[in-house]
Structure 1
Amino acid sequence: DKLLGGLLASGFDEGSCLSRYQSVLYRKNSLHKPSPYLISKLRKYEDLHRRCGPYTESYNRTLKKLETQYMKNSSTGDCNYIVWLRLNGLGNRIITMYDKLFYKDEYQGFLEKVPWLVLRSDQYFVPHLFLLESFKQEINRMFPDKETIFHHLGRYLLHPSNQVWGLITRFYESYLAKADKRLGLQIRIFDPKANPSKKVTDQLLACIRQEKLLPQLDNNNKTTLAVASPSKNQTTKAVLVASLYSVYYEYLKNMYWLKPSADGEIVGVYQPSHEEIQQFGDNMHNAKALAEIYLLGLCDVVVTSSWSTFGYVAHGLAGLRPWILFMDHGDGFPDQPCKQAMTMEPCFQFPPTFDWLTHKVSDTAAFDPHVMPCEDVYHGVKLIDPS
């Protein structure tokens, strides 16, 4: 179903954006279906863009008011505009596209009269909308399953350009397509001094062993003969490593090259790129990053790094609950190497702690059963379905 259960509209020029309708050929069918109400709202949203988009009559009229500064007491019609200023790396830029709504409830009437609103953000603040009665009922109708908001909106919004789609499909067909299972490992190091590669490698291997994500090695060479004469039932597993550094890829590749697995499973390890440093504003760097996010989203199981919005987008697209690899963020490495997330929703890492109604500091996660603390960010919150 190339329209993803009605999530996507038909009628687009397929050649102008190949990924829009071809992604279904690479992804597994989602277990989560969009609600009819969400589909109807998306079609209305598209109609609004046709009426109000760039260079339409309404857009030109409203822009002229902005340029001449004659905004006071002027009618805005049915077209209001958000100017979105993105921040930081690609993961943050993607994650903040999803929620251009506002959560200071007492000011909603005022905001409706503002034709141009500038928003500067790198956060996914959907969880906080559940604290606002003016949004809560509408969101409940659009998303009966609260844990699918990012998943549905990601598949609706994120369609890589033809150039990036070529990076994705060529790598997938070359290295991942023929594997029986695909494991994605996303390793993001924010502080290399606090997270030396040896310690991170040990943490990663401990997670893999603990959760049995990869087969054990045959240290006694008992499977050497079996490997030399492979059976028809021999399985293969492809490991995709997404990291700025090559050290983790090299370690895993050598580990499964120098020794066979104990159960005879063939493990291949692959890494699309290792840029060494994050390069802000470099389009080719961002193209590679988006390709790796998307490739992670095509895996069967995903391990992501704590605090990483890059990882949030990847597992959200895949519709998977990731294994979160814990890093040292200033308080040392935790004893537990990794933990599976309770939900596939991203973390709202910096929720406001000031209640605008009571004018007191508040605990966001205590206000609504759909909101819980994040596993990887102690002061963050995320969505969960209480059922």
Structure 2
Amino acid sequence: MKEGKTVPFWRNGIVLMSIGTVMIFTCLLAMDMETVDFASARISSRKTAERTDLRNAVNREMKIKPVTRSAHDRLMNVKHDPECLARTQHLLYRRDPERFAPSPAFTKAWNRYVMMHKACSHNKNWTHVFLHERGKTDDCNYLIVMEGNGGTGNKLLSLTSAFAYGLATDRVVMVEGRNQFKYLLCDPFPESSWFLPEDFPYQNVTDAEGLGVAIQRNFTDTSMVTLRLDHIQSWADTQFFCEHTHFGLMNVRWVGWSSTQYFVTRLLMVPSIWERLNPLFPSGEIFTFLSHKVLLPKNELWAHIVRLYFGYLAGSSKRVGVQVRLHGRWNLAEYDPVVFDHIVDCLQSRDVLPKLTTVDDVSDVMSFARNGWESSTEISVLVTSLQLKYYDELKDLYAGKPNVNKTAIRFHMVSHLGSQDSSVHQGETAFVEMWLLSFSDVLAISAYSTFGYVPQGIGGVKALYLNIKGEVFPNSTSCFDAYSTQPCTHNPQDPKCEGPGDANELHSEWMRHHVRECVDHPGGLQLVNEVVEEHSSG
């Protein structure tokens, strides 16, 4: 266009009309797309609501707990302890972590003990202190826990018993720094350790005079006593469960503890110890709360536990733990078809797992797929046993036939070692399995099994006891209910106490209501939190 030449007005009008038409069309298109998006969102929302309603209906019918993201939300707010991650994380993986909040009295007693432990143990040369400061040079008394020869469950139960005694009597608990414990457990106390060095003179503890000699001396000129509290005890060692003995032991600086048994229930039958411990645990779950403090896995094991948790249990609406150990037999890992039948009958008759059916058509298969993929109704079953075949048979049974609830069930197993030994590897494996089992909603454990008592106590679960000890008969009761979450004291001892003891009517009344014979082991004693009816093991 040449300079000075004007543009006709009608051309400007055409340009303006074209631009306006494009703008109007664009606006209409955008409005139409918003309408389409809104309609799609309504359809998607309606479908999601329908799926949610279906899932909730199925969950209500099957009485399955919903899966929430509460554990994830809690994880974001946890202040992690790098020295012992399990200390602050383990409650994140439980359905109802609020239930495990310790009482204010226990929290106060624990904090007091932690301070005492640090003051009496920090930066000590333990060999020098033990060999050259045997007399009373400060206000510290010590309990040295020697690791017993039993299985991992027995060792952990004994250690918890020793700590309960130390807490009740103001003794600093120090643990043998050899063998399994140092590979399994975190240090419970920040800024101080409870493990003695490997070169500590342990033989001196083993060879120290027993309780009988100390009693004969009336606890005078005695700086070290070793308790030998196995399932068979001498008369002198049974005196440990007498009131007057504990007053005498107050004058002994060093006490050794050698045991493979759980004795917390029996310790509570000593009035002076009951007066110290009972107020700290109003729920009666002493082992549960102590285990959350002193049976924490080392970080390497905790990482393994968390990986297995997310691989096996996370996202499942129902977590089932099955622990199989054949006590009373030469081969603890033997496969017995009658035992397997008992396991299946227990799980099905108690509605832990759905019964099987022969009906298997396309509609059932599609319903099964919907339940497995679109709604979180699946059940995860963790089987722990020395014998692989129990796991294989359970898995094949439910894979081979449909179940009446059309539920997706997943079976898992961590190990099948074939036999029990005292190796560190087997101890680590057992400890990992115990912690995984403790996350179960339902536990079916072998009667009389200390391996099963540990996850039952850690998880605070009233288990089903599988009736598979000794010879198992086809028509016998397959399982029976526990009436406590706490371990059974298998050999509680009933000593004839020769020294003076103070009668305590409140204590006697408490024992009448809260100490019962174990349902899975006649003659054993168990702590319960309420009066229960008598049970029969069939």
Which TM-score band (shorter chain)? 0.7 to 0.9
**2: distance between equivalents of 1:192 and 1:128?**
30
* 1:131/1:368 contact within 8 Å kept: no
Residue 7 of structure 1: aligned partner = none
Supply the RMSD in Å over aligned alpha carbons: 2.8
* 1:130/1:370 contact within 8 Å kept: no
User: Which moves more between the two structures, 248-257 or 100-109?
Assistant: 100-109
User: Quick one: which of 329, 347, 353 aligns to 2:488?
Assistant: 347
**1: distance between equivalents of 2:119 and 2:475?**
53
Residue 141 of structure 1: aligned partner = 279
Q: Say how many residue pairs are matched.
A: 366
Residue 193 of structure 2: aligned partner = none
Q: Which amino acid aligns with 1:163?
A: E
SS at match of 1:344: coil
**2: distance between equivalents of 1:106 and 1:158?**
31
Residue 235 of structure 1: aligned partner = 377
Q: How does 1:354-365 map to 2 (within 5 A)?
A: 354-357=495-498
User: Quick one: which of 91, 113, 130 aligns to 1:63?
Assistant: 130
SS at match of 1:373: strand
Q: String of CA shifts for 1:196-229, please: whole Å, max 9, x gaps.
A: 5211101111111221110111212152342355
SS at match of 1:369: helix
Deviation at 1:91, TM superposition (A): 0.5
SS at match of 1:131: coil
Residue 439 of structure 2: aligned partner = 298
**2: distance between equivalents of 1:262 and 1:109?**
62
Residue 182 of structure 1: aligned partner = 319
Give me the TM-score of the superposition, normalised by structure 1.
0.86
User: Which moves more between the two structures, 322-331 or 260-269?
Assistant: 322-331
Distance 1:336 1:30, change over 3 A: farther
Residue 172 of structure 1: aligned partner = 309
User: Which moves more between the two structures, 15-24 or 225-234?
Assistant: 225-234
**1: distance between equivalents of 2:509 and 2:393?**
40
**2: distance between equivalents of 1:234 and 1:23?**
23
Deviation at 1:234, TM superposition (A): 6.2
Q: String of CA shifts for 1:16-45, please: whole Å, max 9, x gaps.
A: 322222212222314243221111111111
User: Quick one: which of 38, 44, 57 aligns to 2:106?
Assistant: 38
Higher helix share goes to which structure?
2
Distance 1:334 1:64, change over 3 A: farther
**1: distance between equivalents of 2:386 and 2:472?**
23
Q: Which amino acid aligns with 1:119?
A: W
Residue 115 of structure 2: aligned partner = 47
* 1:239/1:269 contact within 8 Å kept: yes
Residue 157 of structure 1: aligned partner = 294
Q: How does 1:20-35 map to 2 (within 5 A)?
A: 20-28=87-95, 29-35=97-103
Residue 39 of structure 2: aligned partner = none
Deviation at 1:353, TM superposition (A): 2.4
Flag structure 2 segments of 5+ consecutive residues without an equivalent. 1-69, 72-77, 166-239, 501-507, 532-538
Distance 1:176 1:229, change over 3 A: closer
Q: How does 1:1-387 map to 2 (within 5 A)?
A: 14-28=81-95, 29-53=97-121, 55-56=123-124, 62-65=129-132, 71=134, 74-87=135-148, 88-100=150-162, 101=165, 103-146=241-284, 148-190=285-327, 191=329, 196-222=335-361, 223-227=364-368, 232-233=374-375, 235-280=377-422, 282-329=423-470, 335-357=476-498, 368-386=512-530
SS at match of 1:354: coil
* 1:62/1:115 contact within 8 Å kept: no
Q: String of CA shifts for 1:33-69, please: whole Å, max 9, x gaps.
A: 3221111111111111111116438x67742336xxx
Distance 1:365 1:279, change over 3 A: farther
Larger Rg: 2
Distance 1:142 1:365, change over 3 A: closer
Residue 231 of structure 2: aligned partner = none
Distance 1:138 1:297, change over 3 A: same
Deviation at 1:192, TM superposition (A): 5.5
SS at match of 2:161: coil
Q: Which amino acid aligns with 2:114?
A: E
Distance 1:234 1:366, change over 3 A: closer
Residue 5 of structure 1: aligned partner = none
**1: distance between equivalents of 2:283 and 2:294?**
19
Q: Which amino acid aligns with 2:488?
A: C
Distance 1:54 1:283, change over 3 A: farther
**2: distance between equivalents of 1:337 and 1:246?**
21
Give me the TM-score of the superposition, normalised by structure 2.
0.63
**1: distance between equivalents of 2:331 and 2:353?**
28
Deviation at 1:355, TM superposition (A): 2.7
Q: String of CA shifts for 1:307-338, please: whole Å, max 9, x gaps.
A: 11111110111111000111233686782111
**1: distance between equivalents of 2:527 and 2:245?**
24
Q: String of CA shifts for 1:269-308, please: whole Å, max 9, x gaps.
A: 110111111121x222211111100000011111110111
